[in-house]
Amino acid sequence: MRGVLFLQKLFGFKVAEHQSSIGTEVLAGLTTFGAMGYIIAVNPAILSATGANRADMITVTVLAAMCGSLLMAFLSRLPIALAPGMGSNAVFAQVVVVKMGLSYGTALTMVLVGGILFTCLSLSNVRQHIVRGFPASIRIGLQAGIGLFIAYLGLRSGGLIVTDAGGSVAFADLRTPSVMVVFLSLLLIAALVAARVRGAMLLSILAVTVAGLFIHTPDGHVMTVLPTQVVALPHVPSAYFFAFDTSEFFHNFFLVLPLTLYFFLSDFFSATATMIAVTRRAGMMDAQGNFLNSRRAFLADGLASIVGACLGSPTVGAYVESATGVEAGGRTGLTTLTVAILFGLSAFLWPLIACIPPQATTAALVMVGILMMEGLAELDVSDPIQSVSAGMIVLLTVTTANLMIGICAGCFAYTVMAVATRSWARLTPVFLLTNVLLVIYLVLVTYTVN
């Protein structure tokens, strides 16, 4: 009891008032960390496509997750953990840096601007107007399209998808031991998720990493190479601290503006959906759909993206895996504080994390991508405006590996169909502004980049 009173006085977590205990909150934090800890291995694997050092990206990932979770713990005191967002990190690396050829610093500047917009809107009532003004089918299509894109990246990095002699995409040879292990890991993670095993993604990564100690890749090397030491002081990624490239950002302002808007909107809608889902499951939401300290929670999310960008990370956002901690009894910021501490401690295990082969993260990436398509069930398929606009985004994003083309096709299809059916109420000012920015983007990318 004294420990509870001490925490209430020092941090204001009010553990007793939420009918919880220190032990329950810590256990809930462990549960949440187990469910989302895969990001420590997956995020650096994605960001390494930019040429970034993987050990540096491990430190960036854990620092961003730790700082974001600390902000949520102390500002909102809710059991919602934060970390670099799946989806945003793929767009950050593959679209902005690899495909568009912009610098890592420019991508960070885009994330920073998006975080500042999010933070400003969190302090006002404009947030509700944006949520209501942006078509749900476009949001769903974006999430599903990026989910499939992430799954595709996972399959390629793990060697399950290869390019054949004719330049076409083909499935790898299952007679290769490393390919067979990756294929079996997809079945393993599917079984674990179906059985609702907590930490399913971490277990899958661990299983393939261990198996890799005894399996050789086609080039003859062992798949998993153990480090000389397990624990070490973390790399200090000073090259990524405040590494903003504002000159390139403003030089290509209208080209990067739609993607900057994407970073803002993806975090904006993801945070809204995640916080509603987690607080509803925790019984912390009233009949009107409002939850405790909501404005502070959104402020913490926005500030987390700003801090994350300063540390060198893609957009930092709320994780729906926090719901696992809520199911374990977490009701206060002490759960989130526990997650932050665990992320901080993991920074000292970077040699062990860095030895995880790309094949080990394949199943996690594929599963995350598949789970991101769950919103498609909310589409009214009898309404062509919804189904076609969302379908356009998913189809073109996956087939062209170009998110922006997918967004343009989906938004323009929604607009012309709304005009054709005279559904003027669907064309809100927020959405029309988005269309204008996308037209500018298409003109610039067509006549400047190509």
pLDDT for 217: 83
Cα–Cα distance measured from residue 289 to residue 382, given in angstroms and rounded to the nearest whole number: 28
pLDDT of residue 165: 75
171 forms bridges with which residues in the sheet? 161
Q: How far is Cα 249 from Cα 247, in angstroms, rounded to an integer?
A: 5
Distance of CA 13 to the CA centre of its chain: 27
Residues in the chain: 450
Residue 150 to residues 12, 83, 194, 388, 398, Cα–Cα distance (Å):
39, 17, 20, 22, 9
- For residue 142, the one-letter residue type is L
206 vs 239: CA distance, rounded Å? 30
What letter does residue 318 receive in the DSSP assignment? Answer: E
* Residues whose CB falls within 8 Å of the CB of residue 30, separated by 6 or more in sequence, listed in order: 338, 342
Identify the DSSP state of 394: H
Pairing, β 169-171 against β 161-163: antiparallel
Backbone dihedral angles phi then psi of residue 236, each to the nearest 5 degrees: -100, 100
**Largest CA-CA distance found in the chain, in angstroms, rounded:** 71
pLDDT at res. 381: 87
Best CA proximity match to 447, nearest among 246, 260, 255, 261: 255
The confidence score (pLDDT) of residue 12 equals 67
Query: pTM for the full model?
Result: 0.85
Q: pLDDT value at position 30? A: 92
How many angstroms separate the CA atoms of 325 and 339, rounded?
10
On whether the CB atoms of residues 376 and 221 are closer than 8 A, the answer is: no
Q: Is residue 169 classed as helix, strand or coil in its secondary structure?
A: strand
Spell out, as residue ranges, where the chain has pLDDT lower than 70: 1-12, 128, 287-289, 447-450
CB-CB contact of 361 with 154 (8 Å):
yes
DSSP 159: T
The two beta strands, 169-171 and 316-318, are unpaired
- E strands, 39-97, in order: 82-84
- Would you state the pLDDT for residue 11? 65
Q: Give the model's pLDDT for residue 10.
A: 54
Per-residue pLDDT of 222-264, as tens digits, reads: 999 989 888 999 989 999 999 999 999 999 998 899 989 889 8
